[in-house]
Amino acid sequence: MTPLDKVEGRAIPFGLKNVDTDVIIPAHWLKTTTREGMGRGAFESLRADPDNLFDSADFKGAPILIAGDNFGCGSSREHAAWALGDLGIRVVIAPSYSDIFSGNAVKNGILPVVLPQAAIDRLMEVATTDPVFVDLEHQTVTTQFQDRFSFEIDPFRKMCLLEGLDEISLTEKSDAAIGAYEKKLDADRPWMRPAA
């Protein structure tokens, strides 16, 4: 996973609420056995419109996406995060996310920034003409117009993003604890093993 600290550039002023992962990447793009190339299918129904934001001269390849409430709701498909990453997006800024999507985003080096709607409204305005600056280390989103918004992030997620950490390697350090748990489970509740 590519580490992430500071991201600056154009931010797509998308702003829609309840954007589900079927919209981010429709199911027919899921018929693949690799993670690559998902960007082609990203926001397919919206990009059918030739005047869409994502393919406009200003926002094509923009590293930041500004969205509305409950971004990434619906399906657990990690393909949504892969598709955003393939479009070049490293940061999403929204008032809230679905729980599964925000986890998937972090595991793919994409930072889900949570800001209140008022901040989103202001950033949507700035983003139409000017860049946005995101600083994970200091947990801020700023603009060249003295806007400065602080955001909260879980310290574990922050560390994973800053260091580009592989969670499986981290968990493997707890191998003994997992073994001890399994042993105790077998002793306390042996019926938990599938009977057949």
The interaxial angle of helices 155-163 and 99-107, nearest 10 deg, is 30
Per CB under 8 A, the list member of 108, 110, 115, 132 interacting with another protein is 108
Please identify, among the stretches 6-14, 62-70, 123-131, 140-148, the one whose residues bind another protein according to the rule CB under 8 A.
Answer: 62-70
Tell which one of 56, 60, 177, 186 touches another protein (CB under 8 A): 177
Are the C-beta atoms of residues 71 and 94 closer than 8 Å to each other? yes
Closest CB to another protein among 38 and 142? 38
Closest CA to 55 of 68, 37, 42, 66: 42
Radius of gyration (Cα) for the chain, nearest Å? Answer: 19
Question: DSSP assignment, residue 53?
Answer: S
50 sits near another protein (criterion: CB under 8 A) = no
Assigned token pair, 82: 């892969």
Residue pair 124/65 in contact by the 8 Å Cβ criterion: no
Q: Is 118 in the site for another protein (CB under 8 A)?
A: no
What is the closest distance, in whole angstroms, from the C-beta atom of residue 146 to another protein in the complex? 26
154 binds another protein (CB under 8 A): yes
Q: How far is the CB of 121 from another protein (least distance, A)?
A: 10
